[in-house]
């Protein structure tokens, strides 16, 4: 083996690493310099970011990726997450419940997923059979979900108290480490979960969707539709069914996000999750998806979702005002999509 082939091999490996990873590392570097590496890179904050990703944009971004990859967009994901989270909380706070807590948990999760499936199917039914722009139908469905969520909430926050099994989904961990810190003269010992259940669910879903996109006809069809709709239809792909499934899966993924979100907060308010669909789009596009469809993979989307979570966490760490965060996220969304559009024009 000579030096030349070695270099070539390094280049080949570098080519397969998505550029987004360098962007993510760059952002982490900037934030750790701004807040101090010891404070920013300590285990509790790192796990915090990953947890926020799992209960936030992480799982939902897969739905955004699927919709964008098949040349659509799904603006109802945040609304569905809000509705599913609200339904879970409402059912679990049912008192006195006619059934045992274990059965109630199963029922709550089933109903939340069913709501996601129904709303996703509504998107899918309309969008697979007409050529109405997807943003307008999903916007309408989002408003319907938001309304249902508000009506169920009845103007308050629904709390879920004392349901250990349910809290385990969003806050539990299979493995924890003890970390001791000195605060003045006192020694504080904290237990930090390093294998959180919600993160494992998220990773499992990414593995599943990665296989789905690479090894099944469905994945091939989605890429084909995104690449060239006419050609996909002419080559005999059932585009109606594929588009329907894309939005159905999006609804289910948003419902999972809603359940984890409610479990982590042990409460649901109607505003939870609203607007998250735009984080999902930003994550998918940062990960390399093109708004014109047919590009990127689930794992690249994962890096995009991590990037968005790191940004949100970092803005809080440097104590940016919430209003300034709104402005910053708006700017990030515009810049990211503008770069994508410029790349496509070339």
Listed ranges 54-62, 113-121, 128-136, 301-309: which one lies at the site for other proteins (CB under 8 A): 128-136
How many of the other CB atoms lie within 10 Å of CB of 19? Answer: 10
Residue 268 is a binding residue for other proteins (CB under 8 A): no
Minimum CB separation of residue 331 from other proteins in Å reads 6
Indicate the helix (H) or strand (E) that contains 16.
Answer: helix 3-16
Residue 325 is a binding residue for other proteins (CB under 8 A): yes
Based on the number of CB atoms within 10 Å of its own CB, is 48 exposed (0-12), middle (13-18) or buried (19 or more)?
A: middle
Minimum CB separation of residue 129 from other proteins in Å reads 7
Tell me the two tokens of residue 306. Answer: 């991590």
Name every residue whose Cβ is closer than 8 Å to that of residue 176 and which is 6 or more positions away in sequence: 191, 192, 193, 194
Residue 233 is a binding residue for other proteins (CB under 8 A): yes
Distance CA 159, CA 93 (A): 7
Residue 82 vs 171, nearer CB to other proteins? 82
Minimum CB separation of residue 142 from other proteins in Å reads 7
Residue 227 is a binding residue for other proteins (CB under 8 A): no
Residue 137 is a binding residue for other proteins (CB under 8 A): yes
Q: What angle do CA 322, 323, 326 make, to 5 degrees?
A: 90
Residue 271 is a binding residue for other proteins (CB under 8 A): no
Minimum CB separation of residue 303 from other proteins in Å reads 20
The DSSP letter of residue 98 is S
Q: How many residues bind other proteins (CB under 8 A)?
A: 49
Distance CA 22, CA 161 (A): 42
Tell me the two tokens of residue 88. Answer: 């879970």
Listed ranges 13-21, 103-111, 195-203, 338-346: which one lies at the site for other proteins (CB under 8 A): 338-346
From 2, 5, 131, 189, residue interacting with other proteins (rule: CB under 8 A): 131
Listed ranges 27-35, 42-50, 260-268, 317-325: which one lies at the site for other proteins (CB under 8 A): 317-325
Listed ranges 22-30, 53-61, 129-137, 294-302: which one lies at the site for other proteins (CB under 8 A): 129-137
Would you give the distance in Å from CA 218 to the centre of its chain?
A: 21
Listed ranges 88-96, 138-146, 157-165, 182-190: which one lies at the site for other proteins (CB under 8 A): 138-146
Give the number of residues written for the chain: 346
Distance CA 79, CA 273 (A): 7
| Region at 272 (left for phi over 0; alpha for psi -120 to 50; beta for the rest) | beta
Binding site for other proteins (CB under 8 A): 73, 75, 126, 128-133, 135-137, 139-144, 146-148, 150-151, 229-230, 233, 239-240, 278, 281, 291, 321-327, 329-331, 333-334, 337-338, 341-342, 344-345
């Amino acid at each position: 083996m000579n030096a030349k082939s070695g270099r070539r091999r390094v280049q080949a490996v570098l080519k397969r690493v998505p550029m987004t990873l360098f962007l993510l590392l760059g952002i982490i570097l900037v934030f750790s310099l701004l807040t101090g590496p010891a404070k920013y890179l300590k285990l509790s904050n790192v796990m915090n970011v990953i947890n926020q990703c799992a209960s936030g944009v992480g799982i939902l971004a897969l739905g955004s990726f699927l919709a964008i990859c098949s040349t659509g967009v799904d603006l109802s994901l945040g609304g569905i997450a809000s509705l599913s989270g609200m339904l879970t909380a409402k059912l679990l706070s049912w008192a006195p419940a006619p059934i045992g807590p274990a059965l109630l948990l199963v029922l709550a999760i089933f109903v939340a997923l069913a709501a996601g499936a129904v709303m996703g199917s509504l998107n899918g039914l309309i969008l697979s059979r007409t050529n109405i722009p997807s943003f307008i139908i999903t916007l309408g469905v989002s408003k319907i979900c938001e309304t249902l969520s508000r009506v169920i909430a009845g103007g308050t926050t629904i709390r879920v108290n004392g349901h250990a099994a349910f809290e385990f989904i969003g806050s539990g961990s299979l493995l924890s480490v003890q970390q001791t810190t000195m605060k003045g003269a006192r020694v504080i010992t904290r237990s930090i979960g390093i294998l959180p259940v919600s993160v494992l669910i998220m990773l499992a879903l990414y593995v599943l969707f990665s296989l789905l996109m690479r090894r099944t006809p469905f994945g091939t069809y989605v890429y084909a539709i995104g690449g060239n709709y006419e050609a996909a239809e002419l080559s005999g792909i059932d585009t109606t069914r594929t588009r329907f499934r894309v939005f159905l899966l999006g609804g289910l993924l948003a419902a999972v996000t809603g359940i984890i979100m409610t479990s982590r907060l042990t409460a649901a308010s109607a505003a939870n999750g609203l607007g998250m669909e735009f984080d999902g789009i930003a994550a998918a596009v940062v990960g390399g998806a093109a708004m014109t469809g047919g590009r990127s993979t689930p794992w690249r989307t994962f890096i995009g979702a991590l990037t968005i979570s790191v940004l949100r966490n970092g803005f809080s760490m440097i104590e940016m005002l919430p209003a300034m965060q709104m402005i910053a996220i708006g700017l990030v969304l515009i810049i990211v999509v503008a770069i994508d559009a410029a790349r496509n024009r070339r």
